[in-house]
Structure 1
Amino acid sequence: MNLYSKKQKWKIALLISAVVLICFSLIYSNYLVDSLRKREKIPVKQWTETLQKKAELITLTNRTFEELKHEEREKMKLWAKATEELVKPFDPNSNVDYTFYIEIIQHNKNIPVILMDKDSSILNYLNIYDFNLDSIKLQFPDSSKKIINQILLEKVRMWSKTHVPIVVNIDKNQKQYVFYSDSRKIQDLVEQRNQLIEGFNKEIIDNPNLVPVLFLDKADYSVIASNLDSSEIDSPEKISAKMKEFMSENDGIDVKIDDREGIVFYKNSVELTYLKYFPIVQIIMISLFILIAYLAFSVFKKAEQNQVWAGMSKETAHQLGTPISSLMAWIQLLEANGTDPQLLSELEKDVNRLNTIADRFSKIGSETKLEELNICETIQGIVDYLDKRSSDKIEFSTKFEEPKMIARFSPVLFEWVIENICKNAIDAMEGQGKITVEIHRKMDDLLIDISDTGKGIPAGNLKTVFNPGYTTKKRGWGLGLSLVKRIVEEYHKGKVFVLKSEKNVGTTFRIILKS
């Protein structure tokens, strides 16, 4: 009893230790996950701050470009005014300084300009630097004028979309129009800015430390920026799906760029996802390893126990054989000397009983041969034997559903099973009570119930009563019920268990055999 009490305590202690280790592993892994999540959030915030700086830079650059464009428009207005003064009819009485206007017109070295009349005829052009018009004249001498005119008309059409033409009033009935575009200086600056922004965007998107991010406008949830593939966010449905996916892992970060309010969603890295599930995988792997190791050691231990058990059983049978043979010889000698026949008969029964016990031990250590016999007859025989050798205060009774019930069993070993259970019952009843053995059939099974009126088995010990070493007696070995379980389940392929037990009322053991 103490052995199994200590064993249970050790099991509980080991279980608590395992739970503590698992909890520690989970807590530490969660700590690592939280730390990594915080570290991953830093690049996202930096990316967001970079976008804000980029937006501020673009705003500042656009403002600067607008100022430059405004200055160029003022220059073109002055240029148009100078042109207007120069094309007016000459007035000899006027004090106008035409040299000043000529210098204004000649000073324009970089702003592309085309002068056109009200009939859309091109009158003049300057600084058309993206086409080599002189080369066209040389290559196409006959049609160059037409080609150049088409080029200039196309430019007029394009320029008028971004720059309002300036009207030159020649007189009341005659007007000319000045079409112009950004100067080469502004266009170069715009191109350089776009290249810088493109490189900047590429550097941000290609950042290996950046997790997948999605920057949306709060107003309409349109994409402001993202490092995702465009095919993943090319529709409102896909954007919504991505947003929900990212929100399931992390809360969004509110961001304000100029007058726009946005929110940044980001996804955990693959490493973080793996680390998140690592404790579970770790626990499963450790548990599998422990389970496999436990099963392997259990198999080896059981095989070793079987070998030891078989060896001890054979040795016990061998050791009993010599004194039994000697006792049988003494009985024959006493019989020859005229000893009381009744005394010799009882003595012979006990010697035969010892011989049966030796036979039991020899069968435990070897392959058991099962026979188809009437189990009622075997059980009745062992009950009668126990009844004669027990106290008068112990009452035995049997109840058989049928007088003849055939089962496959070993009579020698099965008698041992009934004897062990009944002797345990006698001990539990403390020398006074009733033992009942019942047999009835249920489909293809024979159910053998052995009931006593003893003190019962505590509920916490119902599963341990068959374990080796379990006993409630001070000098008991705790092997009887263990032997019962071994004989029934390993040799007869049946089942044995405590059917019911109630304190101070009694206990019923049930054995199930195939009929």
Structure 2
Amino acid sequence: MNPYRYNKQLWKFLLLLFAVIIGVASLVYTNYLVKSLSKSERTKAEVWAMSTRSIVTMPDVDDQFISFIYAVRDSLTLPAIITDQKGTIIFWRDLDSNKTNIRSEDSIQADLAYDPVYFEKQLNGMKRMHSPIVIDLDTGEKWYVYYHDSDALRQLRIYPYVQISLIAVFLIIAYSVFNSIKRSEQNLVWVGMAKEAAHQLGTPISSLMGWLELIRIKYEAEDDSVLNEMERDVQRLEVVADRFSKIGSTPSLTNHNVYRVINDYVNYFRVRTSDKITFVIEGDRHVEAMLNIQLFDWIIENLLKNAVNAIETEGKITISISENIAKEEIFIDISDNGKGIARTNFENIFQPGFTTRKRGWGLGLSLTKRMVSYHKGQIFVKESEIGKGTTFRIILKSNLRYEPTQV
């Protein structure tokens, strides 16, 4: 199991669990508050209805008691409507005065002059919101009290969803910051290790170059093919050391012919690989791009090594170069007829530490993706099928294009 991916998944799970716990707790507690406040508002609506009934049905009560009843009734701050058994509106409270067009809210139905459409809309809304409070009169008739929730209760109902949204935003930001810090720490470690490796390689490489010159002089073998290949390998080590020394710094890019650069490296790589593997370079030979030769060779090297490892016995590796002139892009497709990659791993293979081999650090394609980004390009698995092979695609921005001169 890839430890990097496992830890990342674990942190995702913990953050999600944290969000769910807070969300559930918020919903449960808010639901409790909503029920308590809703019960309190229903009691207020009942008190208002009873006080209104008292004012209408007990006209001979002394003024002091009537004042008390008025004070109790006026303490209600909920929009409410009272209807009779036929559904006719008798009294109302805290509705829009511009819509009701009424002289006094204590007027009886005979003196009411109201907007029927507005009242019907309000009454229907109240009916949908709460069951009516039924008041039995001394005459045997019944009144029905309907009311709206207060603004505070309506806001409290939506509060947990607002809170959950804010928590989600916070978790997204926290997750992004955590990932950024973790990536920065990893980058610092890799940069330090790379520069130290380059420093350590410098001395033995210089010594090997000196020993090769001594061998040529001692045995008078200036044009010996074996020594020439050894020298190429030592020079290759110098290139590798130079690559590692440049990790963490911005590479310099210069204009190069893409086909020529790839062909030069393939010629070097071909003689150091099994002769059962065939290399083919095809496509446009004249496109150019801004490249850093050391890093670009490293990109091609990693992809070719992966292709060779994917081919168990003998096979073919094809490098196809093409250009999309309209978008000013260069496509470099590297294909093999090896064992292929499962579709579920198309993205995972570029993660640090991911590998399907028994031996290996799983850093090759991660570094490759980083180096392609230095060239302001993209790399991805274009297509792959288990048992049939894989094609990686590199997309670079094209630079100048020239036509070869005739000899």
Q: 2:273 maps to which residue?
A: 390
* In 1: Cα distance, 2:178 partner to 2:30 partner: 31
1:281–1:437 distance in 2 versus 1, CA, 3 Å = same
Distance change >3 Å, CA 347–CA 32, structure 1 → 2: same
Q: Does 1:223 align with 2:105?
A: no
SS at match of 1:33: helix
Would the aligned equivalents of 1:217 and 1:224 in 2 still touch at CA under 8 Å?
A: no
Within a 5 Å distance, the mapping from 1:331-410 to structure 2 comes to 331-338=212-219, 341-400=224-283, 402-410=284-292
Q: Pick the aligned partner of 1:238 from 102, 115, 118.
A: 118
Alignment partner, residue 187 of structure 1: none
TM-aligned CA deviation for residue 49 of structure 1: 4.2
1:263 to 105, 124, 144: 144
Q: Per-residue displacement from partner, 1:100-127 (whole Å, max 9, x unpaired)?
A: xxxxxxxxxxxxxxxxxxxxxxxxxxxx
Are residues 1:454 and 2:338 paired? Answer: yes
**Percent identity of paired positions between Structure 1 and Structure 2:** 41
Instruction: State the Cα distance separating 1:487 from its structure 2 match.
Output: 0.8
Following superposition, the deviation at residue 421 of structure 1 comes to: 1.3
1:417-496 equivalent positions in 2, closer than 5 A = 417-442=299-324, 443=326, 444-489=328-373, 491-496=374-379
Q: Deviations over 1:440-468 (max 9, x none)?
A: 11221111111222222222222221111
* SS of the residue 2:143 aligns to: strand
Say whether residues 1:299 and 2:180 are aligned partners.
yes
d(CA) in 1 for partners of 2:69 and 2:316? Answer: 96
Aligned to 1:287: 168
The corresponding residue for 2:191 is 310
In structure 2, do the counterparts of structure 1 residues 33 and 485 end up closer, same or farther at CA, with 3 Å as the change threshold? same
- Letter of the 1:478 counterpart: G
With over 3 angstroms needed to count, the CA separation of the structure-2 counterparts of 1:205 and 1:244, relative to structure 1, is: same
> SS state of the match for residue 337, structure 1?
helix
* Partner Cα distance (1:262, 1:463) in 2: 69
Q: Deviations over 1:140-166 (max 9, x none)?
A: xxxxxxxxxxxxxxxxxxxxxxxxxxx
Matched, 1:504 2:387: yes
**How many angstroms apart in 2 are the aligned matches of 1:334 and 1:251?**
104
TM-superposed CA distance for 1:331, in Å, is 0.3
Tell me by how many angstroms 1:16 deviates. 5.2
Distance in 2 of aligned mates of 1:413 and 1:197:
93
Residue of structure 2 in register with 1:148 after alignment: none
In 2, Cα distance between equivalents of 1:238 and 1:313:
76
Deviates more, 1:408-417 or 1:430-439: 430-439
Contact 1:445 1:513 in 2 (8 A): yes
If asked which structure has higher relative contact order (CA below 8 Å, sep 6+), I would say: 2
Kindly report which structure 2 residues correspond to 1:19-418, keeping only aligned pairs within 5 A, or say none.
20-21=20-21, 22-52=23-53, 57-58=57-58, 190=60, 193=62, 196-197=65-66, 199-207=68-76, 211-228=78-95, 230-234=97-101, 235-257=115-137, 258-338=139-219, 341-400=224-283, 402-418=284-300
**Structure 1 SS opposite 2:177:** helix
> SS state of the match for residue 465, structure 1?
helix
| Separation of aligned partners in 2, 1:215 and 1:226 | 9
Q: 1:23 is matched by which residue type in structure 2?
A: V
Q: Which residue of 2 aligns with 1:114?
A: none
Q: CA deviation at 1:339?
A: 6.2
Counterpart residue identity of residue 278, structure 2: E
Which amino acid is 1:38 matched to? K
Task: Write the deviation string for residues 3-28 of structure 1: whole angstroms up to 9, x where unpaired.
Answer: 14523651563365146323343344
- Please list every run of 5 or more consecutive structure 1 residues that lacks an aligned counterpart in the other structure: 62-189
Question: Number of matched residues?
Answer: 379
In structure 2, what is the Cα distance between the partners aligned to 1:323 and 1:366? 24
Please give the alpha-carbon distance, in whole angstroms, between the structure 2 residues aligned to 1:393 and 1:250.
83
CA deviation string 1:227-271 (max 9, x = no partner): 546545332222123224434543433444345443322122233
Tell me by how many angstroms 1:287 deviates. 2.4
Give distance in 2, aligned partners of 1:226 and 1:194. Answer: 22
**1:390 partner SS:** coil
Q: Distance in 2 between matches of 1:230 and 1:353?
A: 89
Q: For structure 1, which segment, 424-433 or 434-443, has the greater mean C-alpha deviation from structure 2 after superposition?
A: 424-433
1:514 equivalent in structure 2 = 397
- Please state how far the C-alpha of 1:285 moved relative to its aligned partner: 2.1
Whether the 8 Å CA contact 1:426–1:432 is kept in 2: the answer is: no
- Shift of residue 305, structure 1, vs aligned partner: 3.5
The whole-number CA distance in structure 1 between the counterparts of 2:241 and 2:151 is 70
Is the alpha carbon distance of 1:454 and 1:8 closer, same or farther for their aligned partners in structure 2, counting shifts above 3 Å? farther
Structure 2: runs of 5+ lacking an equivalent: 102-114, 399-407
**Cα distance in structure 2, aligned partners of 1:410 and 1:220:** 85
Distance 1:36 1:431 in 2: 77
SS in structure 1 opposite 2:289? strand
Answer yes or no: is the 8 Å Cα contact 1:470–1:478 preserved in 2: yes
Counterpart position of 1:120: none
Q: TM-score, normalised by structure 2?
A: 0.84
Distance 1:2 1:302 in 2: 16
Counterpart amino acid of residue 458 in structure 1: A
SS state at 2:249 partner: coil
**Amino acid across the alignment from 2:280:** S
Q: 1:446 touches 1:513 (CA, 8 Å); kept in 2? A: yes
Larger radius of gyration: 1
CA RMSD of aligned residues (A): 2.6
Instruction: Give the counterpart letter for 1:14 in structure 2.
Output: L
Distance in 1, matches of 2:14 and 2:142, equals 56
- Tell me which amino acid in the other structure corresponds to 1:211: L
Which residue number corresponds to residue 164 of structure 1?
none
